[in-house]
C-alpha cells in the first residue's frame, strides 16, 4: 500500500539559511500534519491542513510556514535556520478521523 512520502530524507544547512521540506500524503487522504522531533524528545505538533486550509497550529516558530497545495502535497518552509532547528521532521496524513499515518521523516541538521 502507498505510504506517506517525504523529501528529502536528509538535509544539511547552515545557520541563517532556508530549507523546504516536502510531503506527499497517502492518496485520498485530505489532512496533512507536520511534527518536529528533537534529539531524545517526543514528537511535537507544528501545524496541520485539512482540504488545503490550515486546520490547527501548534508550537511552530514564526520563521516557519507551511501550505497544502491543490494536489494535497504539503511543504514546510523554514527560514533563518538556527542550531536548535536540527531535528527529525515528520509529516503524517489522514482521512478525517482515521488514524494518522506517518512518513519516514526528514532529518535536518543545521551547522
Nearest distance in Å: CB 70, other proteins? 18
Specify the residue, 44 or 67, whose C-beta has the smaller distance to other proteins. Answer: 44
Specify the residue, 4 or 19, whose C-beta has the smaller distance to other proteins. Answer: 4
Q: Which residues in this chain contact other proteins in the complex, by CB under 8 A?
A: 4, 31, 33, 35, 42-45, 48, 50, 55-56, 58, 88, 90, 92, 94, 96-105
Choose among 85, 91, 84: nearest CA to 106.
Answer: 91
On whether the CB atoms of residues 75 and 69 are closer than 8 A, the answer is yes
**Rounded CA gap, 80 and 98, in Å?**
35
Specify the residue, 75 or 79, whose C-beta has the smaller distance to other proteins. Answer: 75
On whether the CB atoms of residues 70 and 49 are closer than 8 A, the answer is no
Amino acid at each position: 500500500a502507498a505510504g506517506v512520502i517525504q523529501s528529502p530524507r536528509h538535509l544539511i544547512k547552515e545557520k541563517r539559511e532556508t530549507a523546504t521540506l516536502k510531503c506527499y500524503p497517502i492518496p485520498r487522504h485530505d489532512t496533512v500534519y507536520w511534527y518536529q522531533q528533537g534529539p531524545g524528545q517526543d514528537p511535537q505538533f507544528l501545524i496541520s491542513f485539512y482540504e488545503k486550509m490550515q486546520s490547527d497550529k501548534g508550537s511552530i516558530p514564526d520563521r516557519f510556514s507551511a501550505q497544502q497545495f491543490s494536489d494535497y502535497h504539503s511543504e514546510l518552509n523554514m527560514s533563518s535556520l538556527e542550531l536548535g532547528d536540527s531535528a527529525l521532521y515528520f509529516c503524517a496524513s489522514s482521512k478525517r478521523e482515521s488514524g494518522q499515518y506517518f512518513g519516514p521523516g526528514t532529518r535536518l541538521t543545521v551547522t
